[in-house]
Amino acid sequence: MDTLTAIRERRSVKNYDPNFAIPEEQLRQLLDLALLSPTSFNIQNWRFVVVRDAQQKKQLRAAAWDQAQVTDASVAIVICGDPRSWAKEPERYWRNAPESAREQIVPMIRQFYQSRGEQVQHDELMRSAGIAGQTIMLAAKAMGYDSCPMIGFDPDQVANIIGLPDGHEIAFMVVVGKATQPAQPRGGQLDKSEVVFFDRFPAANG
């Protein structure tokens, strides 16, 4: 499936075949594609906890208000991350770049995040996680699978279930598997005139 078709056909599916498991090779491919998602300064601040174990999925389902897609989908991927990735040997992120690029960019990483504080570090993680989540969902669709992004869960319970390290944050969860029913019809798209503007917002009336 081409990218444009995957974008048009990707939907948040709730019903999955609990007996189907994504083949290991395809799961690795899906995760490899997720790792190509862009991050600011290439700090790769996302982390992906891929939950396949049936008992652990049951725990996640309980923390997610008993939503069946958590256990029925092939995998539940908790997308989280380290907002202080920028401070942890940032030269790693540019180790394959020319020396001149490393000397220019690596000091900029520390300067940027130190000067802007924890809120920007948090926001940057959420942006990175969102981009990666969309990459996973579109790649899954192109591979013939369906997905559902989820924020309906208790983050403290999920953090305990996955052993979230101190200082890390959970963004959201994406389940991926083989659908048994299509998604519900689209609820209603806003008119393009309400959400798309060129160059600037129109002047307010009155």
Q: Return the CATH number at 165.
A: 3.40.109.10
Whether 65 is in a domain gets the answer yes
Which structural domain, as residue segments, surrounds residue 94? 3-195
Domain count across the chain = 1
- In this predicted structure, the answer to whether residue 205 has a pLDDT above a threshold of 90 is no
Q: Is 5 helix (H, G, I), strand (E, B) or coil?
A: helix
In a domain, residue 202? The reply is no
pLDDT at 206 over 60: no
Distance between CA atoms of residues 102 and 92, nearest Å? 10
Beta carbons within 8 Å of 37's beta carbon, 6+ residues apart = 46, 128, 131, 132, 135
pLDDT digits (tens, 9 = 90+) for 97-150: 999 999 999 999 999 998 988 999 999 999 999 999 999 999 999 999 999 999
Is 191 among the domain residues?
A: yes
Asked if 153 and 65 touch (Cβ cutoff 8 Å), the reply is yes
200 within a domain of the structure (yes/no): no
111 assigned to some structural domain? yes
User: Edge-to-edge, what's the strand order for the sheet holding 146-150?
Assistant: 46-51, 75-81, 169-177, 146-150
CA distances to 34, 85, 114, 162, 170 from 156, in Å? 25, 21, 28, 10, 9
Residue 134 is predicted with a pLDDT of 98
Residue 87 has pLDDT above 80, yes or no: yes
The answer as to whether 181 is a domain residue is yes
Contact 105, 111 (CB under 8 A): no
Between 197 and 186, the higher pLDDT residue: 197
With tokens 């208790």, the residue in question is 154
Model pTM? Answer: 0.94
In a domain, 71, yes or no: yes
Instruction: Answer yes or no: is 47 within a domain.
Output: yes
